[in-house]
Structure 1
Amino acid sequence: MIRVAIVEDDDKYKEQLIKFLQRYEQEKDEQIEIVTYSDGDGIVENYKAQFDIILMDIQMSFMDGMSAAEEIRKADAEVVIIFITNMPQYAIKGYAVDALDYVLKPISYFQFSERLNRAIDRMKKRETHHITIKVKGGVIRFDISDIYFIESQGHDLLFHTKKGDYMGTGTMKELEEQLASVHFYRGHRGYLINLQHVEGMNDSNAVVGGEEILISRSKKKGFMKALANYWGEVIK
């Protein structure tokens, strides 16, 4: 699922972009979820890194697209931003907010689809390094390397990260499968540990991000082997 936001105050162009996305979805066999906003302040308010791609008009009444992009970048360094404009001299300034590209009005489908291809290519290259979790009121996207460990708390999951702790939903089993290929190991039924942040062992506890996490007796051998493989040395 590709999550796309359209930020456009002109209804004619907004409808055109929706139709282009729907056409692209059918031609490329992609699943695209579309959310629309009529101004920059709409998307900035309560932004939680919930989109993969943002199609942003530059000239809007309340908050222009460049200002909105600057605010979005404070919370989300990874979302792909494409400016929609009839004034290319403004779009070229998009390097300041790491915009991928710009589409000139009037918009042709060929021009649009070429930009969208590039956006999806960039998005998919980054996907392997990020995880999106459901939290109360929305979603948050993390760089996987920022996660120290994940703790099971009843029906919830507590993500311990460099940016703080976040309570999310889901199951430990699903996350274990999702993160197995990126150096996470379940050393206890209640903990999924990022081996990147294991500082050492203290008896039956792994020291992770300054905290001691119990490794269960049945999991210890497998955990030590996985840690040895990650460190590239033999641990006895």
Structure 2
Amino acid sequence: MIRIAIVEDEINYQEQLIGFLRRFEQDRGENIEIETFTDGDGIVENYNAQFDIILMDVQMRFMDGMSAAEEIRKIDSEVVIIFITNMAQYAIKGYAVDALDYVLKPISYFPFSQRLNRAIDRMKKRESHFITIKIKGGVQRLQVSDIYYIESLGHKIVYSTKEGDFVGSGTMKDLEKELASFHFFRGNKGYLINLEHVDGMNENCAVVKGENLPISRTKRKAFMEALSNYWGEVIK
């Protein structure tokens, strides 16, 4: 069961999205539960992380989609947000609230289905991929998408995650290889950074959850290309 919210104040677009979701449901063989809202404040009120994907109109009468997404992100860091808009420049602003994608009005089924496929793949990837690390006295299982970055400190490996820091053993070379398919990039000898959590760049540092992580001069160009490709992947 995939739980999808449609937040759209124009009834004709709301009905079109419902129709597209039902068609997608048949095409992909998914079971989709749909709930609709006509304004941002409607979904924000009593929100309790009950949705997997939110299709969010940007321009609405009382609370716009960007403001609603900001409020939702305070509660739910996992829900996949796709903006519905007639202005492409909102895609850039969407990075601030970790929006996966955007769909331009007028909406057509093929690009919509592509974005929905990507959203479901991201949702399921988050659910199912873990790594097990060796820690003092035992092992710890970490969800890959919850790892912000990994730091090498002498003979120790420190995992900075949503649940706090974990100190383990191993080598950065092995971790770089293991996590390569999950958008992790080696910013320098000391850091392996999850591009999913990069909020921006500050001079020669990547900004990750308020931390400035240095990117070496020799790695900067490749890092920026990897980051641009990752950001392009989620909005193309």
> TM tier, shorter chain?
0.5 to 0.7
Q: Alignment length, in residue pairs?
A: 136
Give the aligned partner of residue 30 of structure 1.
30
Q: In the aligned structure 2, how far is the partner of 1:32 from the partner of 1:39?
A: 21
Give the aligned partner of residue 115 of structure 2.
115
Identity %: 79
Aligned AA for 2:56? M
- What does 1:162-201 align with in structure 2 at a 5 Å threshold? none
Give the aligned partner of residue 44 of structure 1.
44
The Cα offsets for residues 29-54 of structure 1, whole Å up to 9 and x where unpaired, read as 00000000000000000110000000
CA positional deviation for 1:28: 0.5
The Cα offsets for residues 176-234 of structure 1, whole Å up to 9 and x where unpaired, read as xxxxxxxxxxxxxxxxxxxxxxxxxxxxxxxxxxxxxxxxxxxxxxxxxxxxxxxxxxx
Over 3 Å counting, the alpha-carbon distance change for 1:74 and 1:22 in structure 2 is same
Instruction: Classify the secondary structure of the residue corresponding to 1:88.
Output: coil
CA contact (8 A) 2:126 2:143 kept: no
Over 3 Å counting, the alpha-carbon distance change for 1:129 and 1:68 in structure 2 is farther
Give the aligned partner of residue 149 of structure 2.
none
Q: In the aligned structure 2, how far is the partner of 1:144 from the partner of 1:87?
A: 35
Q: In the aligned structure 2, how far is the partner of 1:48 from the partner of 1:7?
A: 16
Q: In the aligned structure 2, how far is the partner of 1:93 from the partner of 1:46?
A: 25
Q: In the aligned structure 2, how far is the partner of 1:144 from the partner of 1:112?
A: 29
Q: In the aligned structure 1, how far is the partner of 2:49 from the partner of 2:127?
A: 13
CA positional deviation for 1:72: 0.3
Over 3 Å counting, the alpha-carbon distance change for 1:47 and 1:111 in structure 2 is same
TM-score (structure 1 length as normaliser): 0.55
Question: After the TM superposition, which parts of structure 1 deviate over 4 Å for at least 4 consecutive aligned residues?
Answer: 143-146
- Please give the root-mean-square deviation of Cα atoms over the aligned residues, in Å: 2.1
Instruction: Classify the secondary structure of the residue corresponding to 2:90.
Output: helix
Rg: which structure is higher? 1
- What does 1:71-150 align with in structure 2 at a 5 Å threshold? 71-128=71-128
- Any unmatched runs of 5+ in structure 1? 131-142, 147-161, 163-236
Over 3 Å counting, the alpha-carbon distance change for 1:36 and 1:26 in structure 2 is same
CA contact (8 A) 1:58 1:91 kept: no
Q: In the aligned structure 2, how far is the partner of 1:82 from the partner of 1:27?
A: 20
CA positional deviation for 1:128: 2.8
Q: In the aligned structure 1, how far is the partner of 2:91 from the partner of 2:67?
A: 12
Q: In the aligned structure 2, how far is the partner of 1:91 from the partner of 1:49?
A: 23
- What does 1:9-20 align with in structure 2 at a 5 Å threshold? 9-20=9-20
Aligned AA for 2:18? I
CA positional deviation for 1:88: 1.1
CA positional deviation for 1:144: 7.8
